[in-house]
Structure 1
Amino acid sequence: MTRLHDADRRDFASDNYAGAHPEVLSALVDANGGHQTAYGADAYTARLQEVVGAHFGAGATAYPVFNGTGANVLSLQALLPRWGAVVCAETAHIQTDENGAPERVGGLKLLTVPTPDGKLTPELVARQAWGFGDEHRAQPGVVSITQSTELGTLYTPDEVRALADQAHDLGLRLHVDGARIANAAAALDLPLRAFTTDAGVDVVSLGGTKNGLLFGEAVVVLDEAAAPGLAYLRKMNMQLASKMRFVSAQLVALFEGDLWLRSAQHANAMAARLRAGLDALGDRVHVTLPTQANGVFVTLPRAVSAELRRTWTFYDWHPESGEVRLMCAFDTTEADVDAFLAELRRLLDAQG
Structure 2
Amino acid sequence: MPPFGSDNYAPTHPEVLAAIAAADHGYAVAYGDDPWTARLADRVRELFGAGATAFPVLNGTGANVISLMATTSRWAGVVASDVAHVNTDENGAPERVGGLKLLTRHATDGRITVADVEAWAGELGDVHRAQPAVLTLTQATELGTVYRVEELRALVEAAHALGLAVHVDGSRLANAAAFLGVELRALTTDVGVDIVSLGAAKNGGMLGEAVVVLGPDDAPTPGAAAARRAAAEAVPFLRKSTMQLASKTRYVSAQLLAMLDVDPTGATSGGEARPLWWRNASAANAAAARLRAGVEALGTDAVRVTRPTEANAVFATLPRAAADRLRTQTRFYDWADGETPDRVEVRWMCSWATTEADVDGFVRALAESL
- TM-score, normalised to structure 1, is 0.95
1:332 is the counterpart of 2:348:
no
1:47 aligns with 2:39: yes
Aligned to 2:288: 271
Aligned residues of 2:81 and 2:105 also touching (Cα < 8 A)? yes
Tell me, yes or no, if structure 1 residue 252 matches structure 2 residue 269: no
1:330 is paired with a residue whose SS is coil
Letter of the 1:322 partner, please give it. Answer: V
CA deviations over 1:192-242 (Å, ceiling 9, x no partner):
111110001000000000001110000000043251411101000000011
- Contact 2:323/2:369, CA 8 A, preserved across alignment: no
Question: 8 Å contact 1:13–1:326 — kept in the other structure?
Answer: yes
Give the equivalent residue in structure 2 for 1:302: 320
The count of aligned residue pairs is: 340
User: Percent same amino acid among aligned pairs?
Assistant: 59
Q: Is the 8 A contact 2:74 2:98 kept in 1?
A: no
Structure 1: stretches of 5+ with no match in the other structure = 1-8
Q: Deviations over 1:122-151 (max 9, x none)?
A: 111222343111111000000000000000
Residue pair 1:173, 1:226 contacting (<8 A) in 2 also: no
1:319 CA drift (Å) = 4.0
Cα shift at 1:343: 1.1
Q: Give, in angstroms, the shift of residue 59 of structure 1.
A: 1.1
CA gap of 1:325–1:129, structure 2 versus 1, over 3 A, is: farther
1:28-107 alignment runs, 5 A limit: 28-107=20-99
> Where has structure 1 moved over 3 Å in runs of 4 or more?
none
2:100 aligned residue: 108
- Match of residue 265 from structure 2: none
Gaps of 5+ in 2: 216-227, 263-274
Could you say which residue in structure 2 is the equivalent of 1:216? 208
* C-alpha distance in structure 2 between counterparts of 1:102 and 1:141, whole Å: 13
1:3 is matched with none
Q: Is the 8 A contact 2:118 2:158 kept in 1?
A: no
Letter paired with 1:175: H
Work out the CA distance in 1 between the residues paired with 2:325 and 2:41: 48
Partner SS state of residue 120, structure 2: coil
SS of the aligned residue for 1:11 comes to coil
**How far apart, in 2, do the equivalents of 1:62 and 1:23 lie?**
21
Counterpart contact for 1:12–1:312, Cα < 8 Å: yes
2:270 match: none
C-alpha contact (below 8 Å) 1:11/1:312 kept by paired residues = yes
SS at match of 1:326: strand
The equivalences for 1:1-352 within 5 A come to 10-223=2-215, 224-225=228-229, 227=231, 228-257=233-262, 258-282=275-299, 283-319=301-337, 321-348=343-370
Structure 1 residue 51: deviation in Å? 1.3
My pick for the range that moved more, 116-125 or 69-78, is 116-125
Q: Is contact 1:143–1:175 with CA below 8 Å preserved after alignment?
A: yes
Aligned to 1:229, the other structure's residue is in SS state: helix
Query: For the residues of structure 1 that align with 2:34 and 2:293, how far apart are their CA atoms?
Result: 46
For residue 300 of structure 1, report the CA deviation from its aligned partner: 1.2
Could you list the per-position Cα deviations for residues 253-275 of structure 1 after superposition, in whole angstroms to 9, with x for gaps in the alignment? 11112111000000000000000
* Residues 286 and 298 in structure 1, CA contact (< 8 A), matched pair in contact too: yes
